[in-house]
A and B are shown apart, each in its own frame.
Chain A
Amino acid sequence: MTDKFRNNPELKPLLNKIKHDVAALDGKALPLKFMEVCGTHTVSILKFGFRHYFKDSIKFLSGPGCPVCVTSACDIDKMIYLAQQGHHIVTFGDLIKVPGTHSSLEKEIAKGATVDVVYSPLDALNIARNTKKEVNFIAVGFETTIPVIAGLVLDTYAQQIKNLSILCLIKTMPNVLRFLLSQLKGEIDGMIMPGHVSVIIGSEPYEFIPREYGIPCTVAGFEPVDLGLGIQALVSQIALGSPAVDNRYKRMVKSEGNRAAQELISAVFQECDVAWRGFGSIPKSGLCLNEEFINFDAEKRFHIKVNDEVVQSACICGDIIAGRKSPIDCTLFRKKCTPENPIGPCMVSFEGACAAFYKYGE
């Protein structure tokens, strides 16, 4: 697999041809601006050197595709509230370092809070069975992660586990892209759609992007050859003046997506408006538990109270997620804000743009 998609002799000629094709584009301002929505793409683009390789022909902008980075400070405060009530918090690793308005889960751990970092949401079942405490799973993630979280809710229900609930901060892709494009109109020349999310939802939900905004789209995988083919598809759509949704990740993504996973999601969740860091509330851009499973909603069960407080900071994570700025535009980057002492969430998450820029040398 590595040789086919990484160390492939056809890769360098392909990328070289793309460079020439970009230079030959008629009447287009260079560099072209491509947004990669997914954090894993941000990492691949930096890790394999695409940013450097295409520096005069293509500028890559990070989008809102890292679940940790788009979680608002207010939502972090909700986790901290639950931890302070003596609940047993179960979460993905990256979240513990993200600062809320006054604290972080990491700081709460130092004060004695019980927080378990898990790799699979289903680990929360075992934890809940072995404690009398209230257990709260912090449900963050996009479509990629949601089916497993749905599985957790269904298993909790079926096994009648009474002390397990979820803090539901789940977000979904299509409507945040609609919101973003209405703001960025004319500022981007192409979009690399999130490969993992597309495995679940398919490529159909992106059809409105070329239709309504005239922007070329490609669904791409994460290896250098995948990215090369995706970028080539965008450039040729621009050359032909015929924007469309092009799927270059067919080995994983079907146009209709994964029906079984979609059914699992709709059995447990329903659409709702949610708040995004940097954007505020966006209509129907997230999921909450439906009526049948509302009892598993930690926010309702424990009447979470957090202040709607805004802390002034020079952090520009919100602008970075929205594709308006790059981490190197931030005055805190590498100075006050480092992976050891992150000020904003984009420096915390492995897939955050700032952490990726920091790690992959910019």
Chain B
Amino acid sequence: MGNNTILLSHGSGGKQSKELLDLIYRTLSHVVINHGEDSGVFHANEGKVAITTDSYTIDPIFFPGGNIGKLAICGTTNDLAMVGAIPKYITLSLIIEEGFGFDDLKKILIAIRDETEKGNISIIAGDTKIVSKGKVDKIFINTAGYGEIISKDTISSQNAESQDAVIITGDIGDHGAAIMAYRNGFESSLKSDCANVAPLIKALLEHGVKIHALRDPTRGGLASILNEIVASSKVNIVLEEEKLPIKESVSGVCDALGIDPLYMACEGRAVIICPQDQTDKVLEILHNETLGENAQVIGRVAEKSDTPKLFLKTFIGANRILPLLSREQTPRIC
């Protein structure tokens, strides 16, 4: 690796390609299976399985609390967990811009290795493409995830029922606020919450908790995914502002920029909608895990409705609607 950046020739299939692949295999040796084969092969269990796919692009690729590699693994495992599946295998495609630094690639691979190892997941297939400068922004990652469903009941956004509790596994808006603060040059201690929530969900399901609906509030944040749930289940949901766990540093950055934490992405949280009588058990299990120690009941599912809405009961006790927003939030002017 005399030259420290990735060249188009690293994707040519020749000697330099081997150099790149060596770095990848060396770094990921513990977690890659089916080395060098064209397809990954595995024994499938009986029962239901879940498949997901996603592509990851983020600016900046390194951010406080993670990087694009960690984000790709956690994003994939979280999507599997949201249907009650335990992640087993993942595929990994890297699309890299010519001129990208080997050191940066190594950092990303290490994050991928650590996260897959921790989650007991194997990388079963992969691919690398190098494209000329300007064709992608530094590095894009595409994944597919395979998981085995351990939930006895179907978990779906359509299944929220009147009187269910709405629970979040941790603080709201950390990822979005950290990225916004970083992009706007604010000095802050904010960190992305980027994490794999599958172990939390696994713990709940293994303890026999009944879950009606489960979502990770990524793009669009808490308010957007709950709007999807009210629409799918045809129920109203009421959140209580005073119960929402939002860090002061997060609400501070949001207030300064004029953006709303309820619409900011989280990358390591889950929203659990379950029958009221499951609440104590859910909180007890979540509070036992570091990732779930700030879990909180934040609202409840109200009555059925043909024109379902998401409401926020504010600090002063007034109800207002939290609508679905379609425009990107932009920083305020004054």
Residues facing B in A170-194 (CB within 8 A) are none
Which single member of B246, B314, B325, B334 contacts A48 (CB below 8 Å)? B314
Kindly state whether residue B318 has any CB partner on chain A within 8 Å: yes
The docked-state distance in angstroms from the alpha carbon of A67 to that of B252 is 22
The docked-state distance in angstroms from the alpha carbon of A63 to that of B41 is 67
Q: Kindly report which residue of chain B lies nearest to residue A94, judged by CB atoms.
A: B333
Total inter-chain residue pairs, C-beta < 8 Å? 88
Report the stretch among A7-15, A75-83, A125-133 that lies at the interface. A7-15
Q: Kindly report which residue of chain A lies nearest to residue B312, judged by CB atoms.
A: A49
Contacts of B325 in A (CB 8 A): 339, 359
Contacts of B60 in A (CB 8 A): none
Known: A2-B251, A339-B325, A360-B320. A350 touches B314 (CB 8 A): no
Kindly state whether residue A293 has any CB partner on chain B within 8 Å: no
Kindly state whether residue B127 has any CB partner on chain A within 8 Å: no
Q: Kindly report which residue of chain B lies nearest to residue A38, judged by CB atoms.
A: B334
The docked-state distance in angstroms from the alpha carbon of A47 to that of B258 is 12
Kindly state whether residue B323 has any CB partner on chain A within 8 Å: yes
Contacts of B248 in A (CB 8 A): 1-2
Contacts of B323 in A (CB 8 A): 358-359, 361
The docked-state distance in angstroms from the alpha carbon of A140 to that of B332 is 13
| Contact of A52 with B318 in the complex, beta carbons under 8 Å | yes
Known: A12-B317, A50-B316, A50-B318. A94 touches B330 (CB 8 A): yes
Kindly state whether residue A142 has any CB partner on chain B within 8 Å: yes
Q: Kindly report which residue of chain A lies nearest to residue B321, judged by CB atoms.
A: A361
Q: Kindly report which residue of chain B lies nearest to residue A44, judged by CB atoms.
A: B255
Known: A339-B325, A361-B323. A350 touches B318 (CB 8 A): no
Contacts of A46 in B (CB 8 A): 320
Among B248, B320, B321, B331, the one with the most A-chain Cβ atoms within 10 Å of its Cβ is B320
| Contact of A351 with B258 in the complex, beta carbons under 8 Å | yes
| Contact of B333 with A224 in the complex, beta carbons under 8 Å | no
Contacts of A213 in B (CB 8 A): none
Kindly state whether residue A262 has any CB partner on chain B within 8 Å: no
The docked-state distance in angstroms from the alpha carbon of A361 to that of B312 is 10
Give the size of the chain A interface in residues (CB under 8 angstroms): 42
Contacts of A145 in B (CB 8 A): 333-334
Q: How far is the CB of B239 from chain A (nearest CB, A)?
A: 12
| Contact of B316 with A119 in the complex, beta carbons under 8 Å | no
Among B312, B316, B325, the one with the most A-chain Cβ atoms within 10 Å of its Cβ is B316
Contacts of A51 in B (CB 8 A): 318
Known: A11-B315, A48-B314. A361 touches B334 (CB 8 A): no
Contacts of B322 in A (CB 8 A): 361
Known: A340-B326, A350-B330, A351-B258. A6 touches B320 (CB 8 A): no
Kindly state whether residue A156 has any CB partner on chain B within 8 Å: no
| Contact of A349 with B333 in the complex, beta carbons under 8 Å | yes
Kindly state whether residue A196 has any CB partner on chain B within 8 Å: yes
Contacts of B258 in A (CB 8 A): 43, 350-351
Which single member of B251, B326, B327, B333 contacts A67 (CB below 8 Å)? B333
Kindly state whether residue A93 has any CB partner on chain B within 8 Å: yes
Interface string of B234-265 (1 = CB under 8 A from A): 00000000100010100110000010000000
Kindly state whether residue A157 has any CB partner on chain B within 8 Å: no
Contacts of A67 in B (CB 8 A): 333-334
The docked-state distance in angstroms from the alpha carbon of A239 to that of B333 is 37
The docked-state distance in angstroms from the alpha carbon of A92 to that of B332 is 8
Kindly state whether residue B27 has any CB partner on chain A within 8 Å: no
The docked-state distance in angstroms from the alpha carbon of A271 to that of B322 is 42
The docked-state distance in angstroms from the alpha carbon of A224 to that of B325 is 24
The docked-state distance in angstroms from the alpha carbon of A126 to that of B255 is 27
Which single member of A50, A52, A196 contacts B334 (CB below 8 Å)? A196
Contacts of B3 in A (CB 8 A): none
Contacts of A142 in B (CB 8 A): 334
Q: How far is the CB of B320 from chain A (nearest CB, A)?
A: 5
Known: A339-B325, A361-B322, A361-B323. A53 touches B317 (CB 8 A): yes
| Contact of A93 with B330 in the complex, beta carbons under 8 Å | yes
Report which B residues bind A (CB closer than 8 A).
Answer: 184, 242, 246, 248, 251-252, 258, 312, 314-323, 325-327, 330-334
Report which A residues bind B (CB closer than 8 A).
Answer: 1-2, 6-7, 11-12, 15, 39-40, 43, 46-53, 67-68, 92-95, 119, 140-142, 144-145, 196, 224, 228, 339-340, 349-351, 358-361
What would 6 more interface pairs be, CB under 8 Å, given A6-B315, A141-B333? A46-B320, A48-B315, A49-B317, A53-B318, A145-B334, A350-B258
Please provide the 6 A-B residue pairs with the shortest distance between their CB atoms, ordered closest to farther. Answer: A49-B318, A361-B321, A49-B314, A53-B318, A52-B318, A92-B333
